[in-house]
Amino acid sequence: MHIHLTDQPIDVAAVLASVQDDGAGAVNTFIGTVRNQSTGRRVVRLDYEAYDAMAIRQMEHVAAQALEKWPMLRQVAVTHRKGRLDIGDVAVVVAVSTPHRADSFAACQYIIDTIKQVVPIWKKEEYEDGSVWVAAHP
């Protein structure tokens, strides 16, 4: 598995290349990007804060869980950004390769959904008139 946390722009092509596998007929990729609005407010940028060591450990756990659930998975790559991101920037890339496409879609969705639940990374949305830590309050 290829797990990275970086404060530099993500090279999507490099993440895709890292899951290339001669035994794989399918590569599925999820790319999360920064959008310009949230709950009706205009977002001007995001700040991601990470608990680095634990974030990497948890992303590794999620990838390992996916490998258990889909033993046919050939390669798994996850790269997450931290720091300041502007609108349109890539925040996260998940890429998987499998022999057949159905498993590839399922594993990729499982990984991104689980990352959003367990990986200690926090997103602060900056608006023109303030900011909010996302999902902090019910």
Is position 126 an interface residue for other proteins (rule: CB under 8 A)? no
From start to end of the chain, where are the E strands? 2-6, 26-33, 37-38, 41-50, 75-81, 83-86, 90-98, 121-127, 130-133
Binding to other proteins in span 43-72, by CB under 8 A: 48-51, 53-55, 57
Lookup: tokens for 128: 């023109």
- Rank residues 22 and 117 by Cβ distance to other proteins and give the closer one: 117
Single out the residue of 80, 96, 97, 98 in contact with other proteins (rule: CB under 8 A). Answer: 80
Cβ 49 vs Cβ 124: under 8 Å: yes
Is position 91 an interface residue for other proteins (rule: CB under 8 A)? yes
Is position 116 an interface residue for other proteins (rule: CB under 8 A)? yes
Pairing verdict, β 37-38 and 41-50: antiparallel
Cα 53 from chain centroid? 16
Residues sharing a CB contact under 8 Å with residue 113, sequence separation 6 or more, in sequence order: none
Single out the residue of 40, 88, 130, 138 in contact with other proteins (rule: CB under 8 A). Answer: 138
Single out the residue of 105, 110, 122, 127 in contact with other proteins (rule: CB under 8 A). Answer: 122
Binding to other proteins in span 21-40, by CB under 8 A: 32
Binding site for other proteins (CB under 8 A): 32, 48-51, 53-55, 57, 80, 91-92, 112, 115-124, 133-138
